[in-house]
Amino acid sequence: PERIDPGRTDFTVRTTPKLVGGMTPACTEKAVALYEAICDRVVPLSGPEAAELSKLLENIFRSVNIALVNELAQLCDRLGVDVWEVIDAAATKPFGFMRFDPGPGMGGHCLPVDPFYLAFKAREHDFYPEFIELAGKVNQSQPLFCVNRIERVLNDNAKPVNGTTILILGVSYKGGVGDTRESPAIKIIRLLRELGAEVSYHDPHVPELKEAGLSNSPDIGNALDEVDLSVIVTAHPEFDWEEIISRSPLVFDLRGVTRGFEDSGNVTRL
């Protein structure tokens, strides 16, 4: 199975261990010999089933933990507690805790799909992985929760959603890439439009968002000045958070990237 993380430079095809499982021991040996020429480490397994299930485990591990912190963000919203403060505090424990951050939902061609694929395969064997499937559903519902929060941010500032101009900052599924497959930004845009909002976007990696019939607003400065609310959906490294905070009348941060920056009370975080 492939093991890549688009946008990363610290782990490459060569430096990431390669899992290999052949149909027969001879097939495995040939595959190992092939990949040893391009990978620093090759890990032979008993067969393709073990190799593919290992890949699914890697992705579903992320899906389950992202669902956990997304659900925690929803609970913290009801409790009036800063979810980022809670996660920062938990992350000080040097053992028994791995940090995951909440956000607008999951995207890409693997993480949103794999939990449901494995659940489908499990049902063929009369097994129902409720926990795995529930994590997928929690992550699927996160864009709706974010839109509900956007409504509240606007209402708290005496603005309705209907007719309000909203700038989506980042529409790809993760920072530093232009891939919009299963991006939660697309669902957020659709839901906001259904409520009557006038939505535009800025993304240095996505010139056109065909799924929404939108083109990139190329001048981020003008775009920030001309809208009622800017929503940080994808944390691209090119974004200047200080500029976004200072030029936007209102900012709703779904990624926690505005922490540590001074604001005039115009910033709300997930």
The catalytic residues are 110
DSSP string spanning the chain? -----TT-SSS-TTTSPEEE--SSHHHHHHHHHHHTTT-S-EEE-SSHHHHHHHHHHHHHHHHHHHHHHHHHHHHHHHHT--HHHHHHHHTT-SSS-------S---SSSTTTHHHHHHHHHHTTT---HHHHHHHHHHHHHHHHHHHHHHHHHHHTT--STT-EEEEE--SSSTT----TT-HHHHHHHHHHHTT-EEEEE-TT-SEETTTTEE--S-HHHHHHH-SEEEE-S--TT--HHHHHHH-SSEEESSSTTTTS--SS-EEE-
What are the residues facing 201 on neighbouring strands? 168
Contact, 232 vs 258, CB < 8 A?
A: yes
Q: Which of 194, 84, 109 is nearest to 143 (CA)?
A: 194
Distance CA 188, CA 169 (A): 12
Contact, 28 vs 21, CB < 8 A?
A: yes
Q: Which of 189, 23, 177 is nearest to 104 (CA)?
A: 189
